[in-house]
Chain A
Amino acid sequence: MLKDITIGQYFPGNSVIHRLDARFKIAITAIYIIMVFSAKSFISLGAAFLFFVIAFLLSGISVKLIIKSMKPIIPVIIFTSVLNIFFIDGVTVFELFGIRISDEGLLTSGYMIIRLVSLICGSSLLTYTTSPIILTDAIEQMLKPLSKLRFPAHELAMMMTIALRFIPTLIEETDKIMSAQKARGAELDSGSFTDRAKALIPILIPLFVSSFRRAEELALAMECRCYNGGEGRTKLKTLVSGGKDYAALSLSLLFLALIMIIDLGRVVL
Chain B
Amino acid sequence: MDKIISAEKLSFYYSDYSDDEAAENENSRVQVFDRLDLEIEKGSFTVILGHNGCGKSTLAKHMNAILLPCGGKMYSAGIDTSETDRLFDIRKHIGMVFQNPDNQIVASVVEEDVAFALENMGVPQDEMRERVDSALKAVGMYEYREHSPSQLSGGQKQRVAIAGIIAMMPDCIVLDEPTAMLDPSGRREVMKTIRRLNKEKGITIVLITHYMDEAAQADRVVVMDKGRIILDDIPQEVFSNVEMLRKVGLDVPQATQLMYMMNKDGFKDADVHIIDAEKCADYLYELLK
Given contacts A233-B122, A236-B129, A238-B125, contact A218 B106 (CB under 8 A): yes
Q: How far is the CA of A161 from the CA of B161 in the complex (A)?
A: 17
Q: Chain A nearest CB: distance from B66 CB in Å?
A: 7
Interface check B18, CB cutoff 8 A: no
Given contacts A217-B103, A234-B118, A234-B123, contact A133 B98 (CB under 8 A): no
Q: Is the CB of B121 within 8 A of A226?
A: yes
A220 surroundings in chain B (CB, below 8 A): 66, 98
Given contacts A225-B168, A228-B120, A233-B119, contact A165 B107 (CB under 8 A): yes
Nearest chain B residue, comparing its CB with the CB of A165 = B108
Interface check A206, CB cutoff 8 A: no
Q: Is the CB of B115 within 8 A of A236?
A: yes
Contact with A along B144-165 (1 / 0, CB 8 A): 0000111000000000010011
A168 surroundings in chain B (CB, below 8 A): 148, 150
A236 surroundings in chain B (CB, below 8 A): 111-112, 115, 118-119, 125, 128-129, 132
Q: Which of B109, B120, B122, B125 has the most CB of A within 10 A?
A: B120
Q: How far is the CA of A238 from the CA of B126 in the complex (A)?
A: 11
Q: Which of B64, B105, B106, B118 has the most CB of A within 10 A?
A: B106
Q: Is the CB of B92 within 8 A of A226?
A: yes
Q: Is the CB of B108 within 8 A of A225?
A: no
Interface check B236, CB cutoff 8 A: no
Interface check A62, CB cutoff 8 A: no
Q: Is the CB of B128 within 8 A of A234?
A: yes
B45 surroundings in chain A (CB, below 8 A): none
Q: Is the CB of B103 within 8 A of A225?
A: no
Contact with A along B94-117 (1 / 0, CB 8 A): 011010101111111101100111
Q: Is the CB of A218 within 8 A of B149?
A: no
Contact with A along B253-265 (1 / 0, CB 8 A): 0000000000000
Q: How far is the CA of A236 from the CA of B115 in the complex (A)?
A: 6
Interface residues of A in 124-169 (CB under 8 A from B): 131-133, 161-162, 164-165, 168-169
The residue from B91, B102, B149 contacting A226, defined by CB atoms under 8 A apart: B91
Given contacts A133-B112, A236-B112, A236-B132, contact A227 B103 (CB under 8 A): no
Interface check B88, CB cutoff 8 A: yes
Interface check B266, CB cutoff 8 A: no
B118 surroundings in chain A (CB, below 8 A): 234, 236
Q: How far is the CA of A161 from the CA of B118 in the complex (A)?
A: 17
B121 surroundings in chain A (CB, below 8 A): 226
- Contact sample, A vs B, 8 pairs, CB 8 Å cutoff: A133-B108, A213-B103, A214-B102, A214-B103, A225-B117, A225-B120, A225-B165, A227-B120
B interface residues with partner A (beta carbon < 8 Å):
64, 66, 88, 91-92, 95-96, 98, 100, 102-109, 111-112, 115-125, 128-129, 132, 148-150, 161, 164-165, 168
A interface residues with partner B (beta carbon < 8 Å):
131-133, 161-162, 164-165, 168-169, 172, 213-214, 217-218, 220-228, 232-238
Q: Which 6 A-B pairs give the minimum distances between C-beta atoms?
A: A221-B104, A225-B117, A168-B150, A236-B115, A217-B103, A226-B120
